[in-house]
Chains A and B, each alone.
Chain A
C-alpha cells in the first residue's frame, strides 16, 4: 500500500490521521529562540493563546531534510511506495527539504513528492481523498494524478483582522496591493498558484462572512468542505450555520486553523476550504 505523507498545515482532524494511516510532518514554529513542532510540542489552542500574549512575533521554519530522510528510512521498512504531498513551495522551503532528502536516501523506496501549491484545508481535503484511495489499493501514479487534480480544484478562502502579520512574516504576496489603503478593510484572501492573493475586499467581518458564504454558494458542486477558525468561535458557528444550506453539515469537517499559517495571519481567523466539482 502507498504510504501518504503530508505536513501539519493540512489541518486534518487528528482521528483521520490514524484512521487513514496518513503520516504528518510537523512544521517548526519559533517564538524567539523557543522552538515548537506544530501539533506535537504545541496545540493550536496553546499557540493562538501565546500568539496574543507573547511579546515576540512568531516565525515559522521549514522541516529539515534530515527529518524527511529519517522519516523515509523508517517508512521504507513498512512500504515500498511513499507519496508526499506538501504545502505550497512558494511560501515554505519544506518541499525543497523533502526533495533533498529523497536524493539523500537513494533507492530505499519509490518516493514521490507533490507540491500542492495549497495549504490548510485545501491541502487537507485533497490529502484525505488521496489517502482513502491509497487504502483501497490505488497505484502511486494514479494517486499522484489524483493529488494534482484535487489540488487544482481545491480552494481555501480566509479572513482575518489585519495584514500586519502577513507583512512582517514576509508572505504578503499579492495582498501587498491592499496595503496603504485609507479605508479599514477586511480582505478575503486565497492562495493562487501558491501565492497569497486577495479575492475580495470587504469593510467588516459581517461582509467578509457573507463573501465566504457566497464563494461556497457560487462554487460548481462541492465535493468536500472544511471550515476552520482560530479564536473566533462565535463567527465560526455563524458561518457553519449559513453553510449548512449548501453542504451537509454532518459531512463538513471542522478544524482549528493551522498555527503555522496562523503565525502569518494573527488571531481571529475564519476560513472555508472546499474541493469544487469538475467543470
Chain B
C-alpha cells in the first residue's frame, strides 16, 4: 500500500478503473433493480458504458497530475454519458475535476473537497433533482467524507472508507425518500451503482487486488424490512402512516432480540438488527419520542432520521395520479359472472352485480355512483330490464348521469371499449350508443319452461339459443350444436370478431373445442375464448 498523501492522477485513474471493473460484475443486478425514473432496466449498463469512456480518456491524458487526469476523465464522462444515470455520473466527474483543479497530487482532504464539489455540481446540473437517488447518495457521502477529513486530512483511505460506509447506508435509505422505490421494495439503482464504484475504488486503494479479481460486489438491500409488504400500497382504507423512525444505537452489551421484543407492537415494519455494540432500529410509529426515549436508556443514538410518512404518502399519491388515467368520467356497468365482472373491471368500469335473474335495485346502482370522485358517470345496464332502473339514477344524484341502453353483456363490453379517454361526455355517449348496434349477442341457456315459439316446440330444460336477448332462434339437446345453429342464425357470416364467453357450467376444454370448430369453419375470422363464469348461460357470444 502507498504512503498517504502521495496519490496522483494515475492513482485516480486506476482507482476508478478498478471501481468500474467492480461494477461490471454487478451490472445485471443493478439493471434489475432499476425502477426510477423509468423502469427500463439499464442503469447499470449506462453507468458502465459511461465509465468506460471515462477510463479511455484517462488513458489518453498527457500527464499524471491529478488536475489534468481528472479533467480528462470528466471529458470522457461527458462524451460517453449514457442515459439518465450516465448524465448524472458525468456531472459527478465534472465536479471532481473542478475540485481537483490545479492539484498535482491529492490526499484525503482534497478527495473530500472534490466529492463536495461533485455533489454540488450533480445537483445543480439537474432541472429537477429528486431525493432518494444517486444525487442524495453523493451528497451524504461528501458530508461524511468531509467530517472524516477534518479528523485526518492526510489519510485518503480513511476518508474513502468513511465515504463507502456512508454510501452503503445512504443507498439503503433511498426507499424512505422515494416512494416509487418503497413501492417496489428496492433501493435506487444509480445509488447502488455509485456505491459499488466507490467500494471498488476503496478496495483498490487498500490493495485488495485478489478480492477485486475473485469476489463480487455486495448489493445493498432496502432498509425497509422484508418490506415488499410494507403497508404503503394505495388502498383507500389505509391511513395509519405516522413517522418512519430510523436510528443507530451504540452501546455495550446491547441485546437486539430484547430490544425487538420491547418495541414490538409499538409500530409497524419494525426492524432491529445488529450486535452487542451497534443496533439499527427502524419502525413506523405514531410516537417516535417514546421510542427514542427508550433507546437512550440503552446507549447513544446516531444517524437519527424521523420522517412524516404522510408526506411520503402524498408524494406517492401524486406519483400514482401521474401514472393513472386522467379520468373525469367513470363508467358503471351492471354485470354478473366472475369472469365477466373481471372483464369489465379490467377495462376500467365499476361493476354493480346483477343481471337476468337478479336485477339490482335503484339503491344498489346509486350506491355505486354516489361515492365516485367524478361528476360525470355513464351507466351500462346490460339488460333490458335494468335500463329503466338505471334511468332513475339521473333524478337522484347531482352528478351528470347518462344511460347507454345496452341490453346484453357483449353490448356493454363493446360500448365500454368504445369509451375514449379524450372525448367529452356527449361524444362518448354518442359513440357508445352507436357502438352497441355494431354487435350481435348470442346467448345459449336452458329453457325455464316448455313453450312454443317461432314454430319450435321447446321442452323445459332444453338448450336454447337467443339473439340479442329477444329472439329465440334455436333449440336442442346438445349445447354445441345449439351454439353452432344459433351463431349461423345470428349472422356469424358477416362478423369479423367472435368472442365466446363460457359460463360457470361449461368446461374450458369444451369452449376451446367449440372455438376450434369455428376456426376451421370460418378461417378468416378472429375467434376468441374468454372465461365469463356466468351462471345459467353456457355461452354468451359477441359477434362484431
Contacts and interface: CB of A to CB of B under 8 A. Distances in A.
Interface of A: 28, 30, 33, 35, 59, 61-62, 64-67, 69-70, 91, 93, 96-97, 99-100, 103-104, 168-171, 173-174, 176-177, 180-185, 192, 195, 197-204, 206-207
Contacts of B322: 195
Nearest to B342: A182
A72 B82 CA distance: 19
Nearest to A67: B79
Contacts, number: 130
B499 A62 contact: no
A59 B41 contact: yes
A104 B78 contact: yes
Nearest to A177: B325
Interface in B109-161: 125-127
A183 B81 contact: no
Contact of A170 (B40, B78, B326): B40
A195 B342 CA distance: 27
Contacts of A177: 324-325, 348
Interface string B490-520: 0000001101000000000000000000000
A100 B324 CA distance: 31
B346 A180 contact: yes
Interface stretch (B64-72, B270-278, B526-534): B526-534
B339 A182 contact: yes
Interface stretch (B305-313, B371-379, B415-423): B415-423
Interface in B49-102: 49, 75, 77-84, 86-87, 90-91
B40 to A, nearest CB: 3
B30 interface: no
A181 B324 CA distance: 15
Interface string B32-53: 0011001111100110010000
B325 A66 contact: no
B127 A96 contact: yes
B301 interface: no
B39 A97 contact: no
Contacts of A97: 81, 87
21 contacts: A28-B82, A59-B42, A61-B82, A62-B86, A65-B78, A66-B75, A70-B79, A93-B84, A96-B84, A170-B39, A173-B323, A177-B325, A181-B347, A182-B342, A183-B499, A183-B530, A184-B528, A195-B322, A197-B421, A201-B347, A203-B417
Interface of B: 34-35, 38-42, 45-46, 49, 75, 77-84, 86-87, 90-91, 125-127, 322-326, 339, 342-343, 346-348, 413, 417-422, 496-497, 499, 526, 528, 530-531, 544
Chain A at the B interface: SS class: mixed
A49 B49 CA distance: 25
A201 B347 CA distance: 9
A170 B526 CA distance: 30
B432 to A, nearest CB: 12
A170 B39 CA distance: 4
A64 B86 contact: yes
A64 B347 contact: no
Given A59-B40, A64-B79, A171-B40, A203 B421 contact: no
Contacts of B528: 183-184
Contacts of B41: 59, 168, 170
Nearest to A28: B82
Contact of A204 (B79, B342, B418, B526): B526
A173 B77 CA distance: 30
A73 to B, nearest CB: 12
A258 to B, nearest CB: 16
A183 B42 contact: no
Contacts of A35: 49
B343 A64 contact: no
Nearest to B39: A170
B83 A93 contact: yes
A170 B531 contact: no
A40 B229 CA distance: 47
A199 B49 contact: no
B346 A65 contact: no
Contacts of B420: 199-200
User: Which one of B34, B40, B342, B348 has the highest number of Cβ atoms from chain A below 10 Å of its Cβ?
Assistant: B40
B417 to A, nearest CB: 5
Contacts of A204: 496-497, 526
B38 A181 contact: no
B82 to A, nearest CB: 4
B45 A30 contact: yes
A192 B496 CA distance: 31
B80 A64 contact: yes
Nearest to B346: A181
Contact of B418 (A59, A100, A169, A200): A200
